[in-house]
Amino acid sequence: MSSLLKYKHLLSDVKELEIISMGEGTTPLVRSKHIGPALGMDHLYFKLESLNPTGSYKDRFAALAISGLLHRQASFCLATSSGNTGASLAAYAALAGMPCHIVVVDGAPPGKLAQMQAYGAKLWMVKEFGIDEKVTTEVFTGLQNLAASYAMPVQISAFRYSPFGMQGVQTIAYEIAEELSQIQHVFVPAGGGGLTLAVARGFAVWNRGNNTFIHPKVHCVQPEGNNTIAGALRTGEHRARSIKSSTTRISGLQVPSVIDGDEVIAACRKHGGNGFLVSDAEVQSLQKQLAREEGIFCEPAAAVALAGCINAVQNNECKSDEAVVCLITGHGFKDQKAGEKLVEDNPLRHIADLKELNKSFHEAY
């Protein structure tokens, strides 16, 4: 069953809403087989959001967002995306029979763009959008005004712009809380901070209805090249800070604007969460490690959460007996270039015949 249907009673303004669903949510929570034990962590878990219908957690957002547009009889969906949001909205819009128009960030991975186009979405790529803070803000504002002229909201996966749809993302927290009631830490990758805020708010909602549940520490993890929230959270500041340009190469987390950052800082700090900054090199290494040791092929942004967790363990901010969850936000097929780098040390071997194959095996074993 779709998480949106299962937890409909915890969502606002959806009683009369018919939810367009492809079975999003209800994703596996799996215990680490190798990485956790090597870190001395007995209870490290991965939440496999990569197993949603289009390959990322954004399906939870898109299902509710498109359902809301249908309810208000919108004639089309207008959105921005760095990749996953666009793929999700395009898929659910196709299911709803609704045209979908997406302004994508400059340099979005071709695999993500192709996925949007496969669902029939019309795409526009604006130069420096998602990289330069000024351009990004101008595009957001312009699209808001354009959408308002059609009496509907622009779809951006952030509470600042699309609070209704972002409720769907809160169901991640509901699932974790229901399955792992003694959870102490959750590590979340962040660009604009919407996912981190959704998880924190989701646990707060769950806590209100379950007095025995203890709200876990929700940690915000960002690449060093997009330090808008995590650094401020760690140093005790109350406001996030925009940056002139994002320098990280981690697709999906290149968001130089603050967006949900201020609210993320407040929500994380309230229950002891912290900020973690990680390098692109760390992330790329862990993407390979997740694939080789855990059988989890994820996009680079998904490995950001694990990088933050490892930093916390090394800094003694996580205890070995505590239950920890890292969100695996998207599938590895989303970013083909990053995937190609993972296999540079494992090339395809061309052989002449079965005789050569047998010889190769005997040499190896």
Residue-wise pLDDT for 90-107, tens only, equals 999 999 999 999 999 898
> Is the domain of 144 the same as that of 199?
no
Q: Which is more confident, 33 or 362?
A: 33
In a domain, 15, yes or no: yes
In a domain, 347, yes or no: no
In a domain, 137, yes or no: yes
pLDDT band at 15 (very low <50, low <70, confident <90, very high): confident
Q: Which is more confident, 35 or 252?
A: 35
pLDDT band at 231 (very low <50, low <70, confident <90, very high): very high
Position 287 scores a pLDDT of 97
pLDDT band at 123 (very low <50, low <70, confident <90, very high): very high
Position 102 scores a pLDDT of 96
> Is the domain of 158 the same as that of 179?
no
Distance between CA 107 and CA 128 in Å, rounded? 9
> Is the domain of 182 the same as that of 301?
yes
HEC string for the chain? CCHHHHCHHHCCCCCCCCCCCCCCCCCCEEECCCHHHHHCCCEEEEEEHHHCCCCECHHHHHHHHHHHHHHCCCCCEEEEECCHHHHHHHHHHHHHCCCEEEEECCCCCHHHHHHHHHCCCEEEECCCCCCEHHHHHHHHHHHHHHHHCCCCCCECCCCCCCHHHHHHHHHHHHHHHHHCCCEEEEEEECCCCHHHHHHHHHHHHHHHHCCCCCCCEEEEEEEHHHCCCHHHHHCCCCCCCCCCECCCCCCCCCCCCCCCHHHHHHHHHHCCCCEEEECHHHHHHHHHHHHHHHCCCECHHHHHHHHHHHHHHHCCCCCCCCEEEEEECEEHHHCHHHHHHHCCCCCCCCCCCHHHHHHHHHHHC
> Is the domain of 221 the same as that of 314?
yes
pLDDT band at 177 (very low <50, low <70, confident <90, very high): very high
In a domain, 365, yes or no: no
Domain that holds residue 153: 58-164
CATH code assigned at 299: 3.40.50.1100
pLDDT band at 211 (very low <50, low <70, confident <90, very high): confident
> Is the domain of 87 the same as that of 182?
no
In a domain, 198, yes or no: yes
Res 313 pLDDT > 90: yes
- Provide mean pLDDT across the span 65-71: 95
pLDDT tens track for 54-67: 999 999 999 999 99
- Provide mean pLDDT across the span 324-345: 90
pLDDT band at 352 (very low <50, low <70, confident <90, very high): confident
> Is the domain of 177 the same as that of 240?
yes
> Is the domain of 46 the same as that of 64?
no
In a domain, 268, yes or no: yes
Q: Which is more confident, 245 or 224?
A: 224
Q: Which is more confident, 362 or 58?
A: 58
Distance between CA 351 and CA 339 in Å, rounded? 24
> Is the domain of 219 the same as that of 307?
yes
pLDDT band at 337 (very low <50, low <70, confident <90, very high): confident
End-of-domain residue from the set 164, 190, 219: 164
Position 265 scores a pLDDT of 98
> Is the domain of 137 the same as that of 226?
no
Task: Give this prediction's pTM.
Answer: 0.94
> Is the domain of 154 the same as that of 206?
no
Position 108 scores a pLDDT of 85
End-of-domain residue from the set 110, 129, 164: 164
Which of 61-70, 116-125, 269-278, 332-341 is the least confident region?
332-341
Total domains present in the chain = 2
In a domain, 98, yes or no: yes
- Provide mean pLDDT across the span 158-177: 96
> Is the domain of 187 the same as that of 289?
yes
Residue in the structure block whose two tokens are 């969850």 = 325
> Is the domain of 244 the same as that of 182?
yes
Q: Which is more confident, 338 or 286?
A: 286
pLDDT band at 132 (very low <50, low <70, confident <90, very high): confident
In a domain, 359, yes or no: no
